[in-house]
Each structure stands twice: as structure tokens, then as C-alpha cells.
């Protein structure tokens, strides 16, 4: 069949004749509209809730019921469905923004000083970045008790953080930024306010990301940190020398004390021995005076001769030197 030389209407008619296509004599528009209406109604009649969601049904704007995971029905046009993720964890960031998370996380270069700059207890300005994680544990309260949920969470977090920071000095915040006590304190205060609002929100964690001085004073702060590190290094070195010298000095002192105690004990024992010997001599002297005197004399004379070298006795009546005793000869 040559279609190039025929009119389009002729081509269409020839195709209908070939495939035996016949146009109905009449078309009921009302039936079509009814079918279309039922299809659209069925679409608004059935809904599905995911396993991690809770469905909240409103009838003419008023809350009527909740729906768990699965297939459910509602009145079309009259009832409205809202779904809330009750198992997921949501995150809000303050003082910074994460553009993309992964192995190499990218952060926004935009400044967020309006939420990051705070005043400390000692009236210094500090730049703080933090984040919070929360869950939507009560979908009904979450939807109907607060108007702008995300703004409420952010405003509450900023208010609590400024309150917490205002109770600490600049130095305490810099040194204790990783202190879990600060995180827990901020979390408890946030949860207390959100519970007061009956928001249906549970705060999971509050985490300080960075605590730094503002950019204009950053160089001075770095110099202070460097000086503090040098100070700590000198303290550590001094402690090292202390740990070396003090035990040595204690050892020497203990040695001297032990030697003194030994000498004292020796002197006491000697004195006690001399006293005992004197008492024995006195007792012997009282029993035999002459014998005891002679024995003492001979013992003392012997002790003298034992420490004496050559002894020469000179008689003034003798003209020459007479060696009387040869005390060097032991035979």
C-alpha cells in the first residue's frame, strides 16, 4: 500500500477497514465521568503506612485516630492523612552546616555567627558549634501541639545553649568542651522545655562540635595556647627532675638515719658492756681487794706494752745507755 500519495484521512480509514475497527454510534459522557470519579475516589480511599511511620487521620481538621503500618481505608474528601516518621533520627546543626557527609565530609563556608556567638560567665565572647539528634515519639503531639516544629526545636536549642554557656567561664568552656557533663546538662534542659510544650519530641544527644574564640582574637588565643603548652612542658620536666632527685635524697637520708641508728645502738651496747664489766670488777674488788688491784694493774700494764715500740730506760746514775728490756722480741 502506498501511503505517500494518499490523504491522511484516507490512510486512517484504510487502517480501520483493514483491522475492522468500528466507531461506536454513541458515547455516554456521564458513564465516563462516573468511572473517572470512582477511580479518583478509590485513590483517596486506600492508603499505606510504612513500618517506620504512624498515620494520623483528621476529619474536617479534627484529629480522630492513628494508623499503624499496613493498608488502611479512610473517607475520601472528608478525612485527611498525615504520616510521621517515629523511628528515624533527625539532626539539627548550629554554627555550621554539613553539605555532604561521607569519607570526606564537606561543610558550608557560610558564616553562622548569629547562632554561634555567645557570651560566657566572665563576659567573653565565644564561638560554639553544636548539633542535636532527636526523634518524633508522639505523632499526635508533634503535629498539633506546636505550629512550626523545626523552628521550635532550633529556638529551644539555641536558648538552652546560651543559658548553659552563660554559667561557665571562657577558660572552662575551652578546656571542658569534650566534657560529657555539659552535653548532658544541655540535653536535660532541652528535654524539659520540649516536654513542657508537649511537643512529642525526644532529644537523643547534644554534642559540642567546636568551641573557639571569635576570628578577631584567634591569633591571640593561639599564642596563649602555645604559651600554655610550653608552661605545661616545663612543669612536666620539673616533675621529671623531682621524681629523680627526691627518691635519691630520700635514699641518702634513710642511709644516714640507719647509720646513725646503728652507731647509737653500738654505743649503747658498748656502754652497757662497760657498765657490766665495771660491776663485775667492783664485785671482785669487794671480795679480794689486793688480788683485784694487782690484776687490774697488770692488765693495764699489758695493754700499754702491747701498743709500745722500743722502750729505753735511762738511769741518771749510769753514764751509758742500758737496754733493759727487749720488748720488740716476741720470743
34 and 58 share one domain: yes
CATH number of residue 170's parent domain:
3.30.479.30
264 domain residue, yes or no: no
C-alpha cell belonging to residue 204:
537523643
Per-residue pLDDT reduced to its tens digit, 31-77: 667 776 666 666 678 888 899 999 999 998 899 999 989 888 888 88
Has residue 79 got a pLDDT over 80?
yes
101 and 145 share one domain: yes
| Whole-model pTM over 0.85 | no
User: How many of the other CB atoms lie within 10 Å of CB of 79?
Assistant: 17
Q: Reduced to 3 DSSP states, what percent helix, strand and coil does the chain have, rounded to the nearest 5?
A: 50, 20, 30
More confident residue, 116 or 133: 133
Domain housing 128: 90-213
55 and 103 share one domain: no
How many structural domains comprise the chain? 2
Residue spans of alpha helices (H) in 129-176: 139-144, 149-165, 170-175
Distance of CA 185 to the CA centre of its chain: 14
Amino acid at each position: 500500500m502506498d501511503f505517500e500519495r494518499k490523504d491522511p484521512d484516507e490512510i486512517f480509514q484504510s487502517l480501520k477497514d483493514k483491522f475492522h475497527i468500528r466507531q461506536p454510534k454513541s458515547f455516554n459522557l456521564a458513564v465516563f465521568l462516573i468511572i473517572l470519579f470512582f477511580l479518583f475516589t478509590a485513590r483517596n480511599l486506600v492508603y499505606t503506612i510504612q513500618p517506620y511511620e504512624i498515620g494520623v487521620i483528621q476529619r474536617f481538621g479534627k484529629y480522630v485516630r492513628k494508623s499503624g503500618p499496613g493498608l488502611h481505608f479512610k473517607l475520601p474528601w472528608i478525612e485527611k492523612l498525615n504520616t510521621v516518621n517515629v523511628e528515624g533520627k533527625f539532626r539539627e546543626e548550629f554554627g555550621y552546616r554539613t553539605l555532604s557527609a561521607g569519607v570526606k565530609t564537606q561543610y558550608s563556608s557560610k558564616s553562622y555567627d548569629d547562632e554561634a556567638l555567645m557570651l560566657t560567665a566572665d563576659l567573653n565572647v565565644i564561638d560554639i558549634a553544636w548539633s542535636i539528634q532527636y526523634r518524633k515519639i508522639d505523632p499526635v503531639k508533634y503535629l498539633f501541639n506546636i505550629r512550626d516544629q523545626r523552628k521550635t526545636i532550633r529556638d529551644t536549642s539555641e536558648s538552652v545553649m546560651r543559658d548553659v554557656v552563660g554559667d561557665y567561664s571562657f577558660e572552662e568552656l575551652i578546656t571542658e568542651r569534650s566534657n560529657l557533663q555539659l552535653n548532658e546538662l544541655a540535653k536535660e534542659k532541652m528535654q524539659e522545655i520540649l516536654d513542657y510544650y508537649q511537643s512529642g519530641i525526644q532529644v537523643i544527644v547534644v554534642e559540642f562540635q567546636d568551641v573557639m574564640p571569635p576570628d578577631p582574637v584567634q591569633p591571640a588565643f593561639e599564642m596563649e595556647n602555645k604559651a600554655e603548652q610550653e608552661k605545661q612542658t616545663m612543669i612536666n620536666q620539673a616533675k621529671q627532675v623531682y621524681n629523680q632527685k627526691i627518691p635519691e635524697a630520700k635514699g641518702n637520708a634513710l642511709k644516714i638515719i640507719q647509720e646513725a641508728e646503728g652507731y647509737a645502738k653500738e654505743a649503747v651496747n658498748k656502754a652497757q658492756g662497760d657498765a657490766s664489766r665495771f660491776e663485775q670488777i667492783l664485785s671482785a674488788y669487794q671480795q679480794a681487794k689486793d688480788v683485784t688491784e694487782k690484776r687490774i694493774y697488770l692488765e693495764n700494764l699489758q695493754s700499754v706494752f702491747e701498743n709500745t715500740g722500743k722502750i729505753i730506760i735511762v738511769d741518771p746514775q749510769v753514764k751509758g745507755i742500758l737496754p733493759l728490756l727487749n720488748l720488740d722480741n716476741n720470743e
